[in-house]
Amino acid sequence: MAQYPELNGKVAVITGAGRHKGLGEAMAKRLAAEGCKLVLTDIGQAKGQYASADAVGLSDELEQIVAEINAAGGDATAFACDVTDAEQVAEAAKFAVERYGSLDIWVNNAGIGYLMKPILEMEVAEWDAVQNVNLRGVFLGIKFAAEQMVKQGKGGKIINIGSQASKSGFAHASAYTTSKHGMTGLTRVAAMELGPHGINVNQICPNHVTTGLGAWQNAHFSEVTGKGHDKYMQDMKDRIPLGRPGLQEDIAKACAFLCSEQAEYITGEAMNVSGGEEYH
């Protein structure tokens, strides 16, 4: 059931929305339930935990997610996009307008979260890859979405998907943590610059969510810490006041709220959605 009727008919682009159990899928299905028209992007075919920028195209998963939304009565279209490529990001914004006549919401969700190594072991190319997707990609999304929103003259909503790592440091996650801290600064500056145009720019900062990537992170850090999976997960639950890790739906609810008129006076925020684990 729709909770925010004002979202009906709004046009939203969500990047990195081509993985089952991912945050992008959850946000897409929630916004579809609110009546939004969706352009869902992803880079292409996955190769294990990785995706190849050399083979940008529509992945089977992305097309399945779009088909599921449409079968449920929604209106979604897939669009292949490497968020590090300025031309492709600009084309995604253009495609949304050509397809649906407007661009009202842009969700910067695409990110790399699997290059987790100690600083002494991280290759420069790996560091650059994380910054390019997690920070350059968000900058490009903000830039080209805002250009269209300013041209339309009716405001808009830009949502950046951060992390608990936007606020706190984590060993073995230097590149990831740096990129998410940088996103917070970018969110605040964009909010200042775009506010006069009626564009709200906010960031959602989840704690751990067991997406497909999250499951890989669980296995990785269980091994790195030497705790084993069960102990690692129990320790995670014990430090969260609400007693559980985040769910995809928790982030989708926050996204829908920030896109709604209920959040019209909220901008420049890095909002924790962490069950009380992150306070600042």
In angstroms, rounded to a whole number, what is the distance separating the alpha carbons of residues 39 and 77?
5
Amino acid sitting at position 122: M
Amino acid sitting at position 279: Y
* Strand-pair category, 44-47 with 50-56: antiparallel
> By three-state DSSP, how is residue 196 classified?
helix
In angstroms, rounded to a whole number, what is the distance separating the alpha carbons of residues 218 and 230?
10
SS percent in the chain: helix, strand, coil, step 5: 50, 20, 30
* 41 strand-pairing partners: 79
Query: Which of 269, 250, 258, 267 minimizes the C-alpha distance to 207?
Result: 250
167 is catalytic: no
176 is catalytic: yes
Q: How far is CA 89 from the centre of its chain?
A: 15
Beta strands in 178-267 (DSSP E): 199-206
Give the count of beta carbons closer than 10 Å to the beta carbon of residue 1.
4
Amino acid sitting at position 224: V
Q: Are 156 and 93 in contact (CB under 8 A)?
A: no
Q: Are 174 and 217 in contact (CB under 8 A)?
A: no
Instruction: Pick the catalytic residue from 10, 29, 157, 180.
Output: 180
In angstroms, rounded to a whole number, what is the distance separating the alpha carbons of residues 267 and 269?
5
Instruction: Pick the catalytic residue from 176, 231, 232, 279.
Output: 176
Give catalytic residue positions. 176, 180
